[in-house]
Every structure is written in structure tokens, then in C-alpha cells.
């Protein structure tokens, strides 16, 4: 792997992390606003839990795609490509 490829992969990973932190920040701000609206309107039913929970599930998947087990897909693809290149070189 060349230095340019390594730099591009590192750049992509940093962008993914930055995008996740932006997503998390927006999630927190918007949900605090929704909780505030609920608190100030005197509503007894905590309706804010539906957007908080649904969006939270999406945020968990976003986290896993950036930091967790779902993240290894590109590494797997690169390994498979290298295996296939090795097979092709061997057979030619």
C-alpha cells in the first residue's frame, strides 16, 4: 500500500469520525430542545421519547459503522482484492 493510499484511508476515517461527532451534537441539541418544549408546555405524556429513541437507534448504527464491528468492511474488501490479485497473477 502506497503512502497516498494510506493518507486517503486515514483522511476518510477522520471525516467519518467528524461526521459522527457532528451527528451526535445535533442529536443532543435537538433532543434537549424537544425535552424543553415538553417541559414548558406542561404535557404529562413524555412524547419526546419517540424521536429520542428512534433517532438514538440510528445514532447507534452510525457509531458502529464508524468505530465498531461494521467498520471492517473496507478492510475486508482490500484483503479480498489482494487475494484475487494473487490468484490472477498465479494463474497467468
What pLDDT is recorded for position 72? 60
Of the candidates 27, 14, 29, the one whose C-alpha atom is nearest the C-alpha of residue 66 is 14
d(CA 33, CA 22): 17
CA distances from 16 to 1, 6, 45 (A): 21, 15, 37
What pLDDT is recorded for position 29? 99
pLDDT by position in tens, the chain (length 92):
677 877 888 898 899 999 999 999 999 999 999 999 999 998 889 999 999 999 999 999 999 989 887 666 666 677 777 788 888 888 87
- Cβ neighbors of 90 (< 8 A, separation 6 or more) are none
What pLDDT is recorded for position 73? 61
What pLDDT is recorded for position 13? 86
Contact 35, 48 (CB under 8 A): yes
Tell me the domain boundaries of the chain: 3-91
Amino acid at each position: 500500500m502506497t503512502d497516498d493510499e494510506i493518507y486517503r484511508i486515514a483522511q476518510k476515517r477522520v471525516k467519518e469520525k467528524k461526521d459522527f461527532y457532528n451527528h451526535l451534537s445535533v442529536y443532543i441539541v435537538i433532543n434537549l430542545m424537544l425535552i424543553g418544549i415538553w417541559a414548558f408546555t406542561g404535557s404529562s405524556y413524555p412524547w419526546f421519547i419517540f424521536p429520542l429513541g428512534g433517532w438514538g437507534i440510528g445514532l447507534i448504527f452510525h457509531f458502529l459503522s464508524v468505530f465498531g464491528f461494521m467498520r471492517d468492511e473496507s478492510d475486508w474488501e482490500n484483503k479480498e482484492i489482494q487475494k484475487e490479485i494473487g490468484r490472477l497473477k498465479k494463474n497467468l
